[in-house]
Structure 1
Amino acid sequence: MWPGIIEKAKEGGLDVIETYVFWNYHEPVKGQYYFEGRFDLVKFVKTVQDAGLFVHLRIGPYACAEWNYGGFPLWLHFIPGIQFRTTNGPFQAEMELFLAKIVDLMKEENLFATQGGPIILAQVENEYGNVEWAYGVGGELYVKWAAQTALNFNISVPWVMCSQEDAPDPIINTCNGFYCDTFVPNSPSKPKMWTEDYTGWFLSFGYPVPYRPVEDLAFAVARFFQKGGTFHNYYMYFGGTNFGRTAGGPLVATSYDYDAPIDEYGFIRQPKWGHLRDLHMAIKQCEEYLVNGDQTHQSLGINLEADIYHRTANNCAAFLANYGSSLDANVTFNGKVYFLPAWSVSILPDCKTVSFNTAKVAGKKSVGDSTISPSASVSELSLSNSPWSWYLEKVGIWSNDSLTANNLLEQINTTKDTSDFLWYTTSIEADEKKDAFLLIESLGHAALVFLNKKVLAFGYGYHDDASFNISEKISLEQGNNTLDIISMIIGVQNYGPWFDIMGAGLYTVILADLKNVKKDYSSNEWTYQVGTEGESLGLDRTDLANSSLWTQGSSIPINQSLIWYKSTFVAPDGKGPLSLNLASMGKGQAWVNGQSIGRYWSTYLSPKTGCTDKCDYRGSYDAQKCQKKCGQPAQILYHVPRTWVHSGENLLVLHEELGGDPSKISVMTRTEQVVCSHVSEYDSIPVDLWKPNSDSSSQTPEVQLTCDQGWKIASVHFASFGNPKGDCGMFAQGSCHADVSSAVEQACIGKQKCSVPVSAAKFGNPCPGVVKSLAVEALCSA
């Protein structure tokens, strides 16, 4: 998928692609390196270079990124005497070795800019300034050591440290956040750089889906360059998917869509992509002034201002800003009156003509969510009639390689993250049949409890606090009772001070009788089993698809905990990516042809409140401001790249932990794409039509329709010139209407992109004296 995604980024106006370098996947075993498949770093950098773009290589090696363990390998944790991210000899030695490995790999391939390659920037460490306080003097010394270590590699391009106010010269400290216009580097010799502008926010199980309005995002970008910014990066521009167990913890979801301009499936998200593309073009119209001009500031009123970049007295570019969040305004600048909506920036590349305003989205929209959602444009294959097989796991200890201890072991230190699961098993003796209360306390992240091999309870935490308690009334049989608890982690901690020693698993087990007489079983003899039986057998592997381990039958056991399911499907026709709908399942992990598509947890619903149908972009944004899908699962659709499937039958395997109904699973693909545009005859002139020193009144606004690469406009569903009503997918004629379908079809059918002028001269004047607009809805097909 890389070339197509990178090309869409380039078309969107990007010059540079940033990437992290994930230590835990490039060195999964100490001294054993891996740079293959989607972790082929050299190939990725060269693919960006082939597209004519630059690279910012964020080596770190700490990444955060909501990635498992922040990108650190778990073996690092078990080096004697090690402490992460501080002045600690064992850690510094390993970090320096990995940095050297990556730098040498790039040098060997001539990939730094001074060697003719695309890498213009590199990063050491990541957001350490947010946690440095927790490490005391050791943290301050570590920053200096990390900076000097990076400089010693002599890569001949600048190094940066983001969110690091004490970054030593010449390391460039940069800003991360929703807004960075007020950020000032720690030295006047350093450029003002923004390494992470959040296009949305990451997704966690049990939470609503966050999104960020494009008007606010564009406002933040324009303000940054208005105030002297030189380098800006979106986080994320393409969101992507955390396949397998790469999603970090606790409880970060598999989807990393991030409400990005290019969605998780690689499709362009409108209007975000198109509006930002026009913004980038407007800013680049000002480039010679921003780079070479002298900046002056002018107040235009309350919350109103202009920043002007002069090359000569009469040769300039300007940014006019209304940074108030409620009141629109008319301002006078250079003897002309300009309308500035609240929370917006207008860009004037010649100090006269507005080529772009951040609040005026020129109607570029696409229908539905970025995910592949059920609609007329989607092909859906139900697996209800597919042949299913299953395997029921043993509850509790299932092999001879178990271990015992007279205390409750911390989970990550015990499993070393080789599995999400750790079984805790002990015995409870009762002198008679009786009722009691069982109290279990856990550091997280979830646990399923069995008493005498029968499901008793399920408990779980959430992203911001993964710890939880289970309190359950139980009935004990006379004699020996078996207590089996399978503790589950959902991603190893990836952020925070000393994140590497944050634990998981049980820490208290107490039994109380009905008279509240308590017995602490935490120091009982416990037997431990790492992982599940199905994992040990390798049931996710394709070479076991026909194994006799699997049970076949016409009646599939449903709502069964700790069960593996297997079936096959023929991929729907087309070239586009696939989506697996797992709404009917509980919690678990899924594989297609042996490739893990990630963890699912469809039964964990978000709170019913906190979402809004429409989010006001005006005013400061945070991750909780704009949310959707309250009261629903965070994720039910799971990305399956088309390259992971083949013609004929494909193998689907699921490990269901809680209980679900696999017969209701479906495989989906997008076969058509709806694109829309709604533009007024007096809308802002699109920036790609803007010409310096021209009269804007002589330029005609245009409806612009763009299909995804490889797709073409096949039909026009709606085209009305007048005062059409509604939004994309629900356009309707207004009281003033001219049917312009034939003109739009002539301009657009069979093309990947097209533009249609919005003018009464072209379409006639169905209602004189009324400001008219053109609304178009078209269908793209592959």
Structure 2
Amino acid sequence: MASRHTLCLLLVLAAAGAAGASTVAYDDRALVIDGQRRIILSGAIHYPRSKPEYNFEGNYDIVRFFREIHNAGMYAILRIGPYVCAEWNHGGLPAWLRDIPGMQFRLHNEPFEREMETFTTLIVNKMKEASMFAGQGGPIILAQVIENEYGDIMAQLNNNRSASQYIHWCADMANKQKCHDYATSIRMVLIISITVEPTLAAPPVARTSQPATTTMLLWMSMPKYGHLKNLHNVLLSMETTLVHGEYNESSYGENITIKTPASVMVMRPSTAEEPEALNWSWMPENLRPFMTDDLGSFRKNQLLEQISTSSDQSDYLWYMTSLEHKGEGSYTLYVNTTGHELYAFVNGEIVGQKHSTNRDYVFQLESPAKLHSGKNYISLLSGTVGLTNYGALFELVPAGIVGGPVKLVGANGTAIDLTENSWSYVTGLDGEHRQICLDMPGNNWRGRNEGIVPVNRPFTWYKTSFDAPAGEEAVVVDLLGLNKGAAWVNGNSLGRYWPSYAAAEMDGCHVCDYRREFNAAGDESDLQCLTGCGEPSQRFYHVPRSFLRRDGEPNTLILFEEAGGDPTRAAFRTVAMATTVCASRGEHDVIAGVNVARGSCGAYEGGWES
């Protein structure tokens, strides 16, 4: 089934050899593979992030994915889910589940448990049939089933009995899969595992990688390649001692200075010289069909919830209505929405735009609106930027203009309530239905030869051609100058972009001070080193080389600019590792339970102690 809204997997790749059938167990000290205690150094790959759709054909062949892991000489830890959180829409659970009668996410009810068992059985059977478990000679040494971070939300569900029944059902269902016949099926083992994966946070500020050494046994989200590579090398060098030996603690006083090597990633032009400006063509999004309420998919005398109405087939849902008015009049249009963003049009003209600036998403749009005598049209475009993925009953969190109210208020206080008007609905944009992102023949691109490209124009499509950067270094596109929208390379989605969304300005930004205990929880007390305040939350977007055509074939970048930006500033760059630098940890740092390398900054020298 090809759908961008089906269930998700998370795979963890463990850097260790995997050859022949293996026996996997664990004791109170470590994971035991073929009778040997092992340290597992791992990184997580969110399988569905590689493509916007998810099925088992072509590039979505998960069995082939595991074979490649095996061929690379690595173990794999399969986290089946289906709820994986992972900053993914609904934590990986598809929106269509909400429409099944009697459905309650992550509680004891037949509809959810039926769908969950169907998915789990499908994945496990695929792995068994392809001999992917360690006991069959495959790479999978652990199967992590079946829930994720459930303890944190059980108390919030207000149904302890149902939650308890559900979690026991999960255990029974997992045992029925008999994964333990082929690999160890456990949720957690006593191993040192460095998990590197991105997280989304508000406000979006960057932190350095140095605290990783003081919290290496905790959950981390600091993808600093050079620093972790060196840390991994140290851990592997003392693997035998860690899993078998005893440890001693030594104090070196309060004024010790520790230097650690760290590699810095730099962005550089895609060629030796600064690249020439990209040559753009453009096309306006066709808004005309949505400026009246004549051509909707259906009508309702109420304002509907967006996710259920659109089945999450698009970020966008149109709400369109009309009203008769005698003479001309000036009003303020009030729209109450559960977000995440909203555009308002009156008689074909955009009159207002707003997006939520808080986690609750609820906000009110106030825009001037002039009505003429006769029939007037009001069109509201509601947009989402991802669905809630965590918390109790998150599937019940609404989006869109559900319930409103929507009203026009005159200067004299008179109000026209449109909440229960006849509203017409359409999911998605015209350009989405026409699949402009695939650059099929017949699209009327403008400005290809004139060199005139409008900037800061909302609801505009842009297209350019470019050559694949030489070499094998990672490729990114720098979208600084763009506002908010979505990007595709050769028809492959790079996802949403929003470089105009800036990190918050916070006191103490750009000043690093580690002279107290590091708090990995990420709360306000964890402000020892903040950078990037006031800067774009993200400006570089990864372009997998598998998306690119080589040997001189042209590549196509297509942007849909929703809010109005400047594509002429966009550029392609490659990512290189700069020369290793030394970073110092100063006096009064609280360092607990960390193996500190003593020696020169650079190559590891000397022994190690706690």
The two structures have a TM-score, normalised by structure 2, of 0.80
In the TM superposition, what whole-angstrom CA distance separates every residue of 1:722-762 from its partner, at most 9, and x where no partner exists?
A: xxxxxxxxxxxxxxxxxxxxxxxxxxxxxxxxx9x99xxxx
Amino acid corresponding to residue 648 of structure 1 in structure 2 = E
Out of 39, 56, 68, the residue aligned to residue 47 of structure 1 is 68
Does the CA contact (< 8 Å) of 2:300 and 2:424 recur in 1? yes
Corresponding residue for residue 360 of structure 1: 258
SS at match of 1:271: helix
Query: Matches of 1:599 and 1:9 in 2, distance apart?
Result: 35
- Highest CA radius of gyration, 1 or 2? 1
The question of whether the paired residues in 2 share the 8 Å contact of 1:581 and 1:636 is answered with yes
1:277 — aligned with what?
233
| Corresponding residue to 2:317 among 401, 410, 422 | 422
Q: 1:448 to 1:596 in 2, by over 3 A?
A: same
> What residue is the counterpart of 1:72 in the other structure?
93
Cα distance in 2 for partners of 1:613, 1:288 equals 43
Give percent identity, aligned residues only: 30
Whole-Å separation in 1 of the counterparts to 2:204 and 2:583: 32
* Distance change in 2, residues 1:397/1:600 (3 Å): same
Contact 1:20–1:60 (CA under 8 A) maintained in structure 2: no
Give the distance between the partners of 2:230 and 2:49, measured in 1 at CA.
35
Cα distance in structure 2, aligned partners of 1:376 and 1:652: 15
Matched, 1:634 2:537: yes
Counterpart of 1:497 in 2: which secondary structure?
coil
Which letter maps to 1:131? I
Counterpart residue type for residue 212 of structure 2? L
Partner of 1:148: 172
Q: Indicate the residue corresponding to 2:391 in structure 1.
A: 496
Structure-2 change in CA distance of 1:283 and 1:466 (3 Å)? farther
How far residue 401 of structure 1 moved from its aligned partner, in angstroms, is 5.5
Equivalent residue number for residue 496 of structure 2: 599
- Match for residue 481 of structure 2 among 584, 594, 597: 584
Q: How much does 1:88 deviate?
A: 0.7
- 1:491-524 deviations in Å (ceiling 9; x for gaps): 1221111112211101321221112233321111
In 1, Cα distance between equivalents of 2:176 and 2:52: 22
Residue in structure 2 matching 1:110, options 121, 131, 137: 131
- The question of 1:561 aligning with 2:458 is answered yes
- For the pair 1:397 / 2:290, whether they are aligned, the reply is yes
Q: 1:300-379 alignment to 2 at 5 Å?
A: 309=246, 317-320=247-250, 331=251, 338-339=252-253, 360-362=258-260, 364-367=261-264, 370=265, 372-373=266-267
- Residues 567-623 of structure 1: CA distance to partner in whole angstroms, max 9, x if unpaired? 211223222222111111111101110001110112222322256224334412333
The alpha-carbon distance between structure 1 residues 404 and 430, as it changes in their structure 2 partners (threshold 3 A), is same
Offset at residue 554 of structure 1 (A): 3.1
CA–CA distance in structure 1, aligned partners of residues 482 and 15 of structure 2: 34
State the one-letter code of the partner of 2:105: F
- The match for 1:732 is none
Match among 187, 204, 209 for residue 213 of structure 1? 209
How many Å apart are 1:193 and its aligned residue? 6.0
SS across alignment from 1:616? coil
> CA–CA distance in 2 between the matches of 1:112 and 1:547?
49
State the alpha-carbon separation in 1 of the partners of residues 95 and 270 from structure 2. 46
Most deviating of 523-532 and 375-384: 375-384
CA distance in structure 1 between the aligned counterparts of 2:483 and 2:411, rounded to whole angstroms: 33
**How far off is 1:442 after superposition?**
1.0
| Higher share of residues assigned strand | 1
Correspondence for 1:346 = none
SS for the counterpart of 2:579 is strand
What CA deviation, in whole Å up to 9, does each residue of 1:320-341 have, x standing for no partner? 5xxxxxxxxxx4xxxxxx4466
* SS of 1:583 mapped into structure 2: coil
1:235-254: CA deviations, max 9, x gaps? 5xxxxxxxxxxxxxxxxxxx
TM-score (norm 1): 0.64
Q: Determine the structure 2 residue equivalent to 1:442.
A: 337
Change in Cα spacing, 1:494 to 1:24, as seen in structure 2 (3 Å) is farther
Asked whether the equivalents of residues 302 and 421 of structure 2 are also in contact (C-alpha less than 8 Å), the reply is yes
Equivalent of 2:365, from 470, 475, 496?
A: 470
Give the conservation status (yes or no) of the 8 Å contact 1:422–1:531.
Answer: yes
Residue 119 in structure 1 maps to residue 140 in structure 2: yes
Tell me, yes or no, if the aligned pair for 1:560 and 1:660 is still in contact at 8 Å: yes
1:522 maps to 419
Classify the secondary structure of the residue corresponding to 1:160.
coil
Range moving further from structure 2, 432-441 or 620-629: 620-629
Please list the CA deviations of residues 95-130 of structure 1 after superposition, one character each: whole Å capped at 9, or x if unmatched: 111111111111112222222333222221111111
Structure 1, gaps ≥5 residues long: 162-173, 175-190, 225-231, 236-257, 262-268, 290-308, 310-316, 321-330, 332-337, 343-358, 681-686, 691-695, 705-754, 759-782
Instruction: Tell me which residue corresponds to 2:275.
Output: 381
Q: Is 1:160 matched up with 2:53?
A: no
Distance 1:390 1:631, change over 3 A: same
CA distance 1:636–1:585, shift in 2 (3 Å):
same
Report the Cα distance in structure 2 between the residues aligned to 1:56 and 1:662, rounded to whole angstroms.
Answer: 41
1:716 equivalent in structure 2: none
Q: Does the Cα contact within 8 Å between 1:24 and 1:73 map onto a contact in 2?
A: no
User: Cα deviation per residue 1:656-703 (whole Å; 9 max; x = unaligned)?
Assistant: 111112222111124x542124499xxxxxx9999xxxxx9xxx7473
Q: Which residue matches 1:674?
A: 578
2-side partners of 1:403 and 1:49: how far apart? 51
Question: Secondary structure, in 3 states, of the residue corresponding to 1:318?
Answer: coil
Give the distance between the partners of 2:134 and 2:358, measured in 1 at CA.
40
Aligned length: 546
Letter in 2 for 1:613: H
Name the CA distance, whole Å, in 1 between partners of 2:340 and 2:583. 49
Residue 540 of structure 1: SS of its match in structure 2? helix
Give the partner amino acid of 1:406: N
